[in-house]
Structure 1
Amino acid sequence: MGRLLVIGGGAAGTAAALALRKAGFDVAVYEAHPDAAEDIGAFLTLASNGMRALAQIDATAAVTALGFPLTGMRMLDGSGTERAARPLGEAEDPALRYRCLRRGDLNTALQAEAARRGIPVRHGARLVSVDERPDSVTAHFADGATATADLLIGADGLHSTVRRSIAPTARPRYAGERVFYGRTADAPCPGATGVITFIRGASVAFGHTTSPEGETYWFARVAGDPLTPEEIARGTAAHHRDLLGPLLREDATPAAGIVAATADDILVTDATELPRGMPWRSARCLLIGDAAHAASPATGQGASMALEDAVILAKSLRDAPDRDTALTAYENLRRPRVEHNITVSGGISRGTHSRPAAPAPRPGDGELTEQLEWGGR
């Protein structure tokens, strides 16, 4: 196979480029955002499976230089009573510990690693259309530039332009919750470093953790009608605090105080998901990450599942005799696992499932280490 194009320079796209380069492919990344730090204020958690994927593409050091590890979790009820506590993920291995970090920092680090390895990353390249032909695929960008390749990988997120050419009727749908993210250095009860606390409140599902520097990162999930794009754009930190405060004060937990102490660093978004069973590929295009299987954030697995995609795609293309066989193998491996995550995460957001005190098995858990292992099939 000749040249590969990756559309989207977030975690899924840049990790895919790193994996594909390691597998010996000529690959380039095209990112619509003018710089690397899109969504710089939001944070995410990489789980042990995501960290395992990063290790297979030699990106552990680039990512563990960021954020901080999480080695344990606690679960409280609305009275503040601890209902469960346990180690988190593969906490005994420093390279596989859960990690809390800012999304923009992760993008920046992976893109810098791609550049260090000689992978072109072009910013400000907003895709407008894709032209597939029997022998090639061409990406057309808003500035009039084009790029042609043998395979185009759409890692361009929830509102994917690539997806419109593959599954034009597939649309993201609301998963039942508004999700708030914030951080503050002034939390009245910051809590222990390295532990994430989940609170099942009367009206809000809340989580918080504290960095070694004393910053508290938190999220809140609130059921209700979806916000419009205009409401999200116009919302201020003060408005978000006023909305959350009365709901959090229903519970005897630190959540209300943490939010009250948060000044400007509050973001809100609607929890969304993509429909299961939608097409992921055409002859010369493939969707990965959120472009293919975006889920509600309730399970915290979005970024980690995308990193799994990157490694397993590169291995599939490396090991299969032809492109179609590779993409079929990739889809067969990935679809049961990621669509199960859509179902479970959406169920938690809609209140039809509760968040388990211990992780429930997922399709592919038993085979994942082998699937990710770079030297194995």
Structure 2
Amino acid sequence: MVRVIVIGGGIAGTAAALGLHKAGFDVSVYEAYPDGAEDIGAFLTLASNGMRALAALGASVAVTAIGYPLTTLRVLDGSGAEVANAPLGESGDPLLRYRCLRRGELNAALQAEVARRGISIRHGARLASVEEGPSAVTAHFTGGATATGDLLVGADGLRSTVRRLIAPGAEPLHAGQRVFYGYADHAAPAGAPGTITMVRGGAAAFGCAMSPAGETYWFARVAGEPPAADEIAQSTPTRWREPLVELLRKDATPAAGIVAATGDRIMVTGATEMPLGMPWRSGRVLIVGDAAHAASPATGQGASMALEDAVVLAKALRDTPDTGSALALYETLRRPRVEYNIAASGRISRAATAPPGPARGQAARRPGDDELIRHLEWDADIRTGCAHGGGGG
């Protein structure tokens, strides 16, 4: 049986483990954090494509038990006038509805599903180096432990150790914005339950949704340099909240009032993206998720893209005769879609009308919905779309 080492127990890593295990492979997950997840407190939305990938992994129930569905998109302009109100994604299918949830809760739910299926997940295992041989790959961890397998999947996020080993010159880029996240307990509702409200104001991009418990989840994207680590460490919630409220008051929308009603649960980070065209693999080593294709959060597709990765990788390894062919097929199928997302998200973050620089022209084609559905259909051979008749391994 093919043995796969997954580095990283976040969304990308746990999803990859679920897919590979379902395809019949022997999978072990190694997570650097002793408590299992790096939870910075932010929330995210899983789009219908991400929910479709979860269904292919057999993990829908684990995720729909947390968070809440979003079925309607409402858009306001800077004056507070409603300019759009429409169904969101595949709102007619309960399994494919957008879902709003906290990142830490999603990590925990996927890790619990990994454990429930008997997949090994080891916490406190921080990768130090990778050694590739002609027939195997070995992960060396700080402290001296090792793990050997036929394939190593780096799902260790934006600051990926695996990526630095196979593509040492590829570093995350700033995408032009600071991103704020917060939770308000007593804000006036900005929309009906199940609705995400987006504000296209002149001061900032803002979005919010109210949970069934009446808590308002919100984000704001503001042009600016990324906050430095010491700035984040030394600042207080008030330090972030008050300037943001003043900025949002330039528009006649509910945004300023929602942020003003937020207490200590507020955080800030920088919008970040990976450069296009960077290497994803070397021999028996592959990177997935944010390690390979992190994008600005402007399109809200980061987690959903990682879930898609998991399904396509598992199917490629299941349906092709050897690991090299499988990884080449995986990259062929995934690169156009995720790099399109990087470029589109970057354009929104920078408020540009065209991709900033000639390298971004590589992301010219986005696979259509029919093609994506075929890629994510578990029982279809990923090479042909025909029914798959065999097991993995």
- The alignment status of 1:93 with 2:97, answered yes or no, reads no
Give the letter aligned to residue 46 of structure 1.
L
In 2, the alpha carbon distance for the partners of 1:362 and 1:45 equals: 21
RMSD: 1.3
Tell me the residue number matched to 2:252. Answer: 252
Tell me the residue number matched to 1:357. Answer: none
Contact map agreement 1:37 1:105 (CA 8 A) in 2: no
Contact map agreement 1:52 1:96 (CA 8 A) in 2: yes
* Residue deviations 1:209-235 (CA, integer Å, cap 9, x gap): 001110100000000122212112222
Q: Secondary structure at the residue paired with 2:76?
A: strand
Contact map agreement 1:157 1:289 (CA 8 A) in 2: yes
Tell me the residue number matched to 1:376. Answer: 380
Q: Secondary structure at the residue paired with 1:263?
A: strand
Q: Tell me: CA distance 1:233–1:365, structure 2 relative to 1, closer, same or farther (3 Å).
A: farther
Contact map agreement 2:227 2:268 (CA 8 A) in 1: no
Residue pairs, 1:238-317, within 5 angstroms:
238-317=238-317
Give the Å deviation of 1:296.
0.2
Contact map agreement 1:190 1:214 (CA 8 A) in 2: no
Give the Å deviation of 1:2.
2.3
Contact map agreement 2:67 2:102 (CA 8 A) in 1: yes
- The alignment status of 1:366 with 2:370, answered yes or no, reads yes
Tell me the residue number matched to 2:109. Answer: 109
Contact map agreement 2:249 2:256 (CA 8 A) in 1: yes
Superposition TM-score, scaled by structure 2 size: 0.92
In 2, the alpha carbon distance for the partners of 1:202 and 1:52 equals: 35
Give the Å deviation of 1:37.
4.1
Q: Tell me: CA distance 1:74–1:215, structure 2 relative to 1, closer, same or farther (3 Å).
A: same
Give the letter aligned to residue 157 of structure 1.
G
Tell me the residue number matched to 1:219. Answer: 219
Contact map agreement 1:37 1:107 (CA 8 A) in 2: yes
Give the Å deviation of 1:238.
0.7
Tell me the residue number matched to 1:123. Answer: 123
In 1, the alpha carbon distance for the partners of 2:201 and 2:366 equals: 26
Q: Tell me: CA distance 1:44–1:353, structure 2 relative to 1, closer, same or farther (3 Å).
A: farther
Q: Secondary structure at the residue paired with 1:295?
A: coil
Contact map agreement 1:45 1:101 (CA 8 A) in 2: yes
List gaps (5 residues or longer) in structure 2: 355-364, 382-393
List gaps (5 residues or longer) in structure 1: 355-360
Give the Å deviation of 1:236.
1.7
* Residue deviations 1:190-222 (CA, integer Å, cap 9, x gap): 531100000011111000000111010000000
Q: Secondary structure at the residue paired with 1:95?
A: coil
Give the letter aligned to residue 376 of structure 1.
A
Q: Secondary structure at the residue paired with 2:241?
A: helix
Between 61-70 and 120-129, the greater mean CA deviation after superposition? 120-129
Give the letter aligned to residue 276 of structure 2.
R
Contact map agreement 1:50 1:308 (CA 8 A) in 2: yes
- The alignment status of 1:46 with 2:46, answered yes or no, reads yes
- The alignment status of 1:154 with 2:159, answered yes or no, reads no
Give the Å deviation of 1:353.
4.4
Contact map agreement 2:67 2:100 (CA 8 A) in 1: yes
- The alignment status of 1:2 with 2:11, answered yes or no, reads no
Give the letter aligned to residue 240 of structure 2.
H
Tell me the residue number matched to 1:172. Answer: 172
Contact map agreement 2:31 2:126 (CA 8 A) in 1: yes
- The alignment status of 1:191 with 2:195, answered yes or no, reads no
In 2, the alpha carbon distance for the partners of 1:125 and 1:282 equals: 22
In 2, the alpha carbon distance for the partners of 1:136 and 1:60 equals: 34
In 2, the alpha carbon distance for the partners of 1:284 and 1:182 equals: 41
Tell me the residue number matched to 2:31. Answer: 31
Contact map agreement 1:40 1:105 (CA 8 A) in 2: no
Between 172-181 and 129-138, the greater mean CA deviation after superposition? 129-138
Contact map agreement 1:16 1:314 (CA 8 A) in 2: yes
Between 185-194 and 262-271, the greater mean CA deviation after superposition? 185-194
In 2, the alpha carbon distance for the partners of 1:94 and 1:36 equals: 29
Between 133-142 and 116-125, the greater mean CA deviation after superposition? 133-142
In 1, the alpha carbon distance for the partners of 2:124 and 2:75 equals: 42
- The alignment status of 1:17 with 2:21, answered yes or no, reads no
Contact map agreement 1:198 1:207 (CA 8 A) in 2: yes
Give the Å deviation of 1:365.
2.5
Contact map agreement 2:7 2:30 (CA 8 A) in 1: yes
Give the letter aligned to residue 283 of structure 1.
G
Give the letter aligned to residue 366 of structure 1.
D
Between 258-267 and 130-139, the greater mean CA deviation after superposition? 130-139
Give 4+ residue runs of structure 1 displaced > 2 Å after superposition.
188-191, 232-235, 361-366
Q: Secondary structure at the residue paired with 1:85?
A: strand
In 1, the alpha carbon distance for the partners of 2:115 and 2:52 equals: 22
In 2, the alpha carbon distance for the partners of 1:334 and 1:229 equals: 32
Tell me the residue number matched to 1:358. Answer: none
Q: Tell me: CA distance 1:362–1:235, structure 2 relative to 1, closer, same or farther (3 Å).
A: farther
Give the Å deviation of 1:189.
3.2
Between 40-49 and 91-100, the greater mean CA deviation after superposition? 40-49
Contact map agreement 2:10 2:37 (CA 8 A) in 1: no
* Residue deviations 1:122-176 (CA, integer Å, cap 9, x gap): 1111112111111211111122211111100000000000001111000001000
Give the letter aligned to residue 257 of structure 2.
G
Superposition TM-score, scaled by structure 1 size: 0.96
Give the Å deviation of 1:40.
5.4
